[in-house]
Amino acid sequence: MEITVVQGDITRQQVDAVVNAANRAMRGGGGVDGAIHAAGGPAVLEDCIARFPRGLATGDAGWTTAGELPARWVIHVVGPNHRAGQTDRTLLTSCYARALEVADELGAATVAFPLVSAGIYGWPKDDAIAAAVETLAAAESAVAEARMVAYDHATYAAIRQSLPTT
């Protein structure tokens, strides 16, 4: 699997699946979650309600339609909320591993990832990047491209610098 990084808007990525950094309730929220729900339209929320009536556990992943997004699916992951004391790094790495497992079940070849838990959940950015890159690099998956999408240039540069050289 090739790990790439781009700077841009995750809701505009031309990929098979977009990963959403969701909250446990799976009913939309702020940050990446709010952007994906806004761009995907009501179909994303309707599918979340139907598929996840009790929400989703921290560290887990599940999929819904992508609605009006250019992607076919949204793979929702629930990252740990560092600010609320959820500091177990395995919950963070599980988000990436489980997202790839779901992508494999769906047959998704290209997947766009945000930097999970590094926004309002307060995970230290350098460690969030390391957790993402380490997990994706070690994963056995049929996904051809795992695309890290950074909203700002500083995050893009930090992710790019951390990517393994080939």
Q: Which of 16, 33, 47, 60 is catalytic?
A: 33
Sign of CA dihedral 112, 133, 25, 28: negative
Q: Quote the strand ranges of the chain, DSSP E.
A: 2-7, 17-22, 61-65, 73-78, 110-113, 145-150
**Taking the C-alpha atoms of 152, 123, 94 and 41 in order, what is their torsion angle to the nearest 10 degrees?**
-50
Closest CA to 110 of 68, 148, 72, 143: 143
Q: Which residues, in sequence order, are CB contacts of 30 under 8 Å at separation 6+?
A: 120
In a 3-state reduction of DSSP, which class is residue 78?
strand
Q: Indicate if 33 belongs to the active site.
A: yes
Catalytic residues: 33
